[in-house]
Structure 1
Amino acid sequence: GLIQFPPPPSKGGIAVTTEDLECLDNGQFLNDVIIDFYLKYLLLERVLQDVADRSHVFSSFFYKQLTRRDNASEDSTSVSAQRRRHQRVKTWTRHVDIFKKDFLFVPVNQEAHWYLVVICFPGLEQCEEGSSPASLRGTGGEKPDEAQAEEEASGYKKLNGISEVTPESTSTDNQDKRTVTGMCVLSPLILSLRIETICKRPCILLMDSLKFSLHERVFKLLREYLQSEWELRRGSVREFSSEQMQGSHCKVPLQDNSSDCGLYLLQYVESFLQDPVVHFELPLCLERWFPRQQVRRKRDEIRDLVLHLYRHQRGTVGMDTSDGVS
């Protein structure tokens, strides 16, 4: 192997080999090792500690294991399919209470195509609104200046760093829209008074760089997983219905070739962790989240990162390996 990340003595390090690096060549599909390595690296090295603490990234094998076919040793007569699925992965969370996390990231690979599922606020039973501390603000953490506050009050809404004109939101008919739809729609008046209002909505977001895919089964299986996990960890019954935990396909930047789906998955996670969503008005419109060029550079960036870690780890063998990687 070239590197292990995180390096010993940390547990759960992912070993990356020279063969793994070959999938970073143009036109190649990213493999699970590169996906898991980069997601772990993001969480440990690239994001604010506060955001990292509120997030949990599942291994790329998690969904595969959850949904694989029953094998001969599994009792398929007396145990429900939902329970059998949960049994296969119940040890994966023995060191983490996922219901205390705000965001759970689930990389999924189906028929050689990668896409991302983000489970938001699994511990909440309903939408919660409140003011955000600086660390939770979803537009870079800076206080909006007066010009921006005025702009938002006059019918712009800034959604996750993307300004959209919403002329209809200034009409009085829509002032109390949120009670009608159940959505956290903030009227311009509220926006002007409380620019930093956040809305926590329990939901399952799906981000797929091929636009034609529908994934209703994924939502269902993950709701069932959450229900079984809740029963096991909390010892009580809680229903995770489609009304309480809505599934939503996000509008995200799309790939323009057949091989970059894994890179888009990584970029979705990176963009989300660097600037977490705070207004959960579904579906999320994130088409302009990042430029395509950013994804194109990612193959070289990840390769360079692995080689940098390789030189660093080789240079610190026998020395104190606890030093952080720059």
Structure 2
Amino acid sequence: MAKKTKCPPEVICLSDDDDDDNSKNSIPMATPIKQQNSSTIVNSDVQNDTHEPSNWTIHHDDRIHVSELPSKYSDIFKKPFEIRCSAIRFGIVEFNVESDIVLMKEKEFEMKLTGGFLDNVNMKLAYSDVITFYFSFQSQTPAAFIQVRSEFAALFDKFIPTSDEHGRGFDPNSKDERRRRVIFYLKQLTPDMERIHTSTIYHFIKTKCPKIDVCCVSASRAQELYNLARYAKVSLPTPKKIPFTLTANDLTAKTVGLNNNTIRFDLASEDLHCLNEGEYLNDNIIDFYLQYIYYEKLSEEDRKRTYLFNSFFYTRLTQKGNNDNSNISAAERRYNRVKRWLRDVDLFSKDFLIVPINQNAHWYIVLIQNHNNVLTEADLISDDEDSDFDDRLKSKKKKRSTRIIHRNEKNNIFNNSSLQSDIHSIEIVDDADEVISNNDTPLKINIESLFDSKNRSQSPAIIIFDSLRIASKVRVAATLREFLQLEYDHKKTLPIKSLARKLFNIDTIPTIEAGVPQQRNYFDCGLYILQYIESFFFHRSSATNFPSTSTFSNWCEKNLMGSSKRKEILNVINQHIIAKEE
């Protein structure tokens, strides 16, 4: 038997003025209309008999994993949150949003709309009237797609008549897809703000109304939904595929070897299990395959020029420990955690450093190139303009690069005062002990252009390869610069007052966010970073012959198609099994 909702929600409020109080010119708060026979309320849920077209089905592969909010945002649900939104479309009726702000409050979305045939419309959409909320900041048109109860649409039509010869302009039961949904046109944000907005919107809705089907969808799927909701353009259905699954024999624990079995990996069943489709690659698989690329894919010349860090390096560098010395600077504490790992390695004899990183259950990879070509103190003093940076890098130069950090002449390391002038501010944030940089604006460069210019190929850079790009990596780049500076100062002894000391800052070794193919789901990030590195060395090698039409992106996408990369990794593992007698 149907049950009544315990508390009738505030559904919609329309006002002719800008005030929130009940002035004489305000239209009183509208109450929910009487339930129609087409809907049934069961345990406060509305079960509409409207058939949901299959075009709106969100498959597992289309859902993007949303990480938890950092601890410093734990109280964000206690007050309204502002969604940056330029316009809202109710079916075929579109309004601008005053101040580009939609408020997420305790029980509803609240918005002040302008334009169209009504001005200054104050509207509230209760969470209890929302059935689904799909959104993406990564699509060509960042947007949120909202399916609402038909009762809200009826109440909307009561105050804002939109009917034409084809029916109501906004009607969740309409056969015209353009009239069925609410669309929030989201503002494009900086990577940091995008990450915060994505996590906040998702967890805010989950917290306030767990019954809403909310998800962040992939960029390509979101664009398909936009074309459907805005233009009724139906995408061809994607044929169902059988997920790649390992057999019992495949899951048997194995010992594999590389470099004539001088490097061995013991792969347990749980390591191999992550090769199943839908699973995240773990650190053992990542480290094994990167070593495989290093020893069997790279030319001998490239191996001599490349150093490969293991997947624990960055975690160790930024992980606070009980043995940290509180009497030294934060920079020195970070460096001390990893310096023993590199005591027999000269990083400055290399041209490429590869750093795989896992943060918040997401893999991405950093390639540091030509770090030994950074400018010296003498270069900056003479203001040498004949560097190898291209015009785009020169345009980013600031006066701050002329500030020189002087070493402590007794121990050849940073002192506290000089450290601040380079890094600007250092603090412990959340669980990662990273450097905070407020003045780094990463260059966004298409990956193809990194292979076009001989000058650029010789320029120092910290290149970020990220298959989601939902968060800024400015702190990561700053932390790696700090590490390089300390590694250099500890290992490269120079005469006192020498100006030959190399400087690692945002001008001498800038951050580049490579425009690379993006994953369409939330679990393939590990596959993408492996393919990025493999593709990078494949395309920069002078010994490689490939068609002129082959680009980094399409070669990368071809090798990542479907489950091909997972199968390839499994085949490589099986080809390198060490027999027990060995």
Taking structure 2 as the reference length, the TM-score comes to 0.40
Residues 301/223 of structure 1: CA separation in 2 closer, same or farther (3 Å cut): same
Secondary structure of residue in 1 paired with 2:280: coil
2:268 and 2:528 mapped to 1: Cα distance? 22
Shift of 1:179: 9.9
- Contact kept in structure 2, 1:6 and 1:13, CA below 8 Å: yes
Partner of 1:42, secondary structure, is helix
Larger radius of gyration between Structure 1 and Structure 2: 2
1:2 has 2:270 as partner? no
Aligned counterpart, 2:4: none
Q: Deviations over 1:232-254 (max 9, x none)?
A: 11124543110111011110010
Structure with the higher fraction of residues in strand conformation: 2
Give me the identity figure in percent: 35
For 2:321, what is the secondary structure of its paired residue?
A: coil
Corresponding residue of 1:303:
570
Q: Does 1:55 align with 2:313?
A: no
Matched letter for residue 86 of structure 1: Y
Go from structure 1 to structure 2 and tell me whether the alpha carbon gap of 1:291 and 1:273 turns closer, same or farther (over 3 Å shift): closer
2:289 aligned residue (31, 38, 44): 38
Instruction: Provide the aligned C-alpha RMSD in A.
Output: 2.8
Residues 16 and 180 of structure 1: is their aligned pair in 2 closer, same or farther, counting only changes over 3 Å?
Answer: closer
2:315 aligned with 1:64:
yes
Instruction: Indicate the SS of the match to 1:24.
Output: coil
Pairing 1:118-267 to 2, within 5 Å after superposition: 118-126=367-375, 181=395, 197-199=454-456, 200-236=458-494, 238-267=502-531
* Cα separation, 2, equivalents of 1:41 and 1:23: 18
Contact 1:117 1:207 (C-alpha < 8 Å) held by counterparts: yes
For 1:231 and 1:275, the matched residues in 2 are separated by: 34
Residue equivalent to 1:173: none
Structure 1 residues without counterparts, runs of 5 or longer: 130-175, 184-194, 279-285, 319-326
What is the CA deviation profile of residues 145-197 of structure 1, one whole-angstrom value per residue up to 9, with x for unaligned ones?
Answer: xxxxxxxxxxxxxxxxxxxxxxxxxxxxxxx95796489xxxxxxxxxxx984
Change (3 A) 1:41 1:212: same
Q: Report the 3-state secondary structure (helix = DSSP H, G, I; strand = E; otherwise coil) of the residue aligned with 1:290.
A: helix
The worse-fitting range, judged by mean Cα deviation, of 236-245 and 207-216 is 236-245
Question: Between Structure 1 and Structure 2, how many residues are aligned?
Answer: 249
User: Is the Cα–Cα contact under 8 Å of residues 124 and 202 in structure 1 kept in the other structure?
Assistant: yes
After superposition, the C-alpha distances for 1:104-142 in whole angstroms (9 at most, x for unaligned) are 01000000000011111111124865xxxxxxxxxxxxx
Higher helix residue share: 1
Residues 15-24 or 264-273, more deviating: 15-24
Is the CA contact (8 Å cut-off) linking 2:259 and 2:295 kept in structure 1? no
Q: Distance in 2 between matches of 1:180 and 1:224?
A: 22
Shift of 1:46: 1.4
Rounded to whole Å, the distance in 1 between the matches of 2:360 and 2:272 is 22
Kindly indicate whether structure 1 or structure 2 has the higher relative contact order, using CA contacts under 8 Å at least 6 residues apart.
1
Residue matched to 2:579: 314
Over 3 Å counting, the alpha-carbon distance change for 1:180 and 1:108 in structure 2 is: closer
1:106 pairs with 341, 350, 355, which one? 355
Structure-2 change in CA distance of 1:252 and 1:120 (3 Å): same
3-state SS in 2 of match to 1:222? helix
Mark the runs of 5 or more structure 2 residues left unpaired by the alignment: 1-252, 376-385, 398-451, 495-500, 543-550
For 2:361 and 2:555, locate their aligned partners in 1 and report how far apart those are by CA, in whole Å.
Answer: 24
SS of the residue 1:253 aligns to = coil
When normalised by structure 1's length, the TM-score is: 0.69
Q: Cα distance, 1:9 vs. partner?
A: 6.1
1:88-107 aligned within 5 A: 88-107=337-356
1:252–1:289 CA contact under 8 A, matched in 2: no
CA contact (8 A) 1:5 1:37 kept: no
- Structure 1's 7 and 275: CA in aligned 2 closer, same or farther, altered over 3 A? closer
